[in-house]
């Protein structure tokens, strides 16, 4: 289980925002109540970023947005209500350059899509498709930020837990060669393929089944993104991509193009590598 280091600053002034710094990605998050939105210092928060507005009526409705000037946009939301929000968080980069508009557009779409995929949350007017004009390497970096932002929402008390299984029967390995190593009893993941170099972060995956076709991309930590939502299980990702009850993602996902090798072939190669290393 991975963890994200966070430094939290709780001011003595109860109306001032609570600030959380996500060290790994240099993200700064401000938590505040709607009544006290004006306590956000304009010198620090009229910068590009993303924000999430949350209700307190038990409906779990949220609004996901992005802005060139966060504080100014939040002022508009306070006076021109699109959602009866009561609390919010704003996210920016704690760096000299900060975010650009293409990056905030991509993050807005990814966060909205991730939240919209949760049965317990309703996204109001959120963008479910992010800015796709960014270079691949920048998307890979921003995908890592999404997890930190979802973690920030957990700190705000929002339930962002998944009801999708993290693994399925198809995720269990079929060993290509006898494996007597410690890896014989563990489930092989796409993250294993990424860390071993058998597949690259940002790689495009294709699948076709039942007359339907879909695409996905691999993140740096081995998840598969489909329509803005990341999945650890290739089979869950395939089923969601094709809108089917089930699909063996290890055999249906093809690497590089729709005629490329299946993920299952790379999984067998990984098993072979592990068996060879165990014999040395």
Tell me the C-alpha distance between 255 and 169, whole Å.
21
Q: What is the pLDDT of residue 228?
A: 93
Q: Which residues of 66-81 are buried (b: 16+ CB within 10 A; e: fewer)?
A: bbeebbebbbebeeee
Q: What is the pLDDT of residue 1?
A: 59
Q: What is the pLDDT of residue 131?
A: 63
Q: What is the pLDDT of residue 176?
A: 45
Which DSSP category does 201 fall into? T
Q: What is the pLDDT of residue 127?
A: 62
Q: What is the pLDDT of residue 173?
A: 55
Q: What is the pLDDT of residue 187?
A: 84
Q: What is the pLDDT of residue 229?
A: 95
Q: What is the pLDDT of residue 167?
A: 63
Q: What is the pLDDT of residue 280?
A: 75
Consecutive 10-residue runs of the chain (280 residues): their mean pLDDT?
85 96 93 96 95 92 95 93 91 92 94 94 74 84 94 94 68 52 67 95 92 93 95 94 91 94 95 87
Tell me the C-alpha distance between 164 and 236, whole Å.
8
């Amino acid at each position: 289980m991975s963890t994200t280091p966070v430094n939290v600053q709780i001011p003595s002034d109860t109306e001032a925002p609570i600030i959380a710094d996500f060290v790994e990605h240099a993200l700064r998050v401000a938590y505040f109540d709607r009544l006290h939105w004006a306590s956000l210092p304009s010198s620090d928060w009229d910068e590009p970023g993303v924000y999430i507005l949350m209700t307190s009526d038990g409906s779990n409705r949220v609004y996901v947005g992005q802005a060139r000037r966060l504080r100014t946009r939040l002022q508009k939301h306070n006076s021109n209500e699109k959602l009866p929000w009561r609390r919010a968080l704003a996210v920016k980069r704690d760096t000299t350059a900060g975010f650009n508009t293409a990056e905030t557009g991509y993050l807005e779409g990814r966060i909205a899509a991730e939240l919209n995929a949760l049965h317990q949350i309703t996204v109001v007017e959120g963008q479910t498709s992010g800015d796709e004009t960014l270079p691949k390497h920048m998307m890979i970096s921003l995908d890592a930020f999404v997890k930190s932002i979802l973690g920030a929402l957990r700190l705000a008390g929002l339930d962002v837990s998944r009801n999708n299984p993290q693994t399925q029967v198809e995720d269990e390995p079929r060993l290509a060669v006898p494996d007597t190593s410690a890896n014989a009893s563990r489930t092989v993941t796409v993250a294993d393929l990424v860390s071993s170099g058998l597949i690259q972060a940002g790689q495009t995956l294709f699948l076709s089944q039942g007359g339907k076709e879909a695409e996905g991309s691999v993140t740096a930590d081995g998840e598969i993104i489909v329509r803005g939502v990341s999945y650890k299980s290739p089979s869950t990702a395939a089923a969601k991509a094709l809108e089917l009850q089930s699909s063996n993602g290890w055999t249906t996902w093809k690497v590089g193009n729709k005629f490329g090798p299946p993920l299952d072939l790379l999984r067998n190669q990984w098993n072979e590598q592990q068996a060879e290393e165990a014999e040395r």
